[in-house]
Amino acid sequence: WLRAYESAVSFHFSNYFVGFLSEATATLAGAGFTEEKDHLEWDLTVSKPLNVELPRSMVEVVTSWNLPMSYWLNNYVFKNALRLGTFSAVLVTYAASALLHGFSFHLAAVLLSLAFITYVEHVLRKRLARILSACVLSKRCPPNCSHRHRLGLGVRVLNLLFGALAIFHLAYLGSLFDVDVDDTTEEQGYGMAYTVHKWSELSWASHWVTFGCWIFYRLIG
């Protein structure tokens, strides 16, 4: 598991490097700003590393990973697919993301796994927030939310537990991006056999935990 976490963090920081580089080049090109009433704000942000490494939820991870891409997928794929139902819209969105990433098997496996993980997390936390009247949603509540329990010890502990679960999922999913993989495998691509082997080493733990969370969600309904 430590090796899986190391591979995940290594992959994360390669993404941050690309994100910060794109921010710098866009700003130097004069494109990284917003304008409001003749006032320029150089506020282009591509990724938010702290929200990924110390997440509140997996939903926060996927939105903070690449903000412009997340915005585009949400507005032009997810919202248009909502007429198919929420879960179907989530699957369509992650499938579109997989296509944009080149549809390599291991990336598609990670993204489609994320679809199930984020959906189950979202509906479970939404139901817990309703039952407990507590601020435990996947996204932070606005200051004027109607929940009775906002900053209590129980709320903080529950959010920390979900945050720890998100780190667990990240380590599991990131295990596919092994930094020490041999050159032959890297040149041929990470195929199905490689993906199955890496996740089998971790006993498919993240998928089983997600299934357990879904069962719990159904039981408390």
Phi/psi for 35 (5° steps) reads: -125, 125
Torsion angle in degrees (nearest 10) through CA of 118, 121, 122, 127: 170
Q: How far is CA 167 from CA 27, 76, 134, in A?
A: 32, 29, 22
On whether the CB atoms of residues 162 and 60 are closer than 8 A, the answer is no
- Active-site annotation holds for 101: yes
Phi and psi torsions of 39, nearest 5°:
-115, 120
Read off the DSSP letter of residue 142. Answer: P
Bridge partners (DSSP) listed for residue 36: 39
How far is it, in rounded angstroms, from Cα 95 to Cα 115?
A: 9
DSSP assignment, residue 78? I
d(CA 122, CA 54): 18
Q: Which of 12, 39, 101, 122 is catalytic?
A: 101
Annotated active-site positions, please? 101
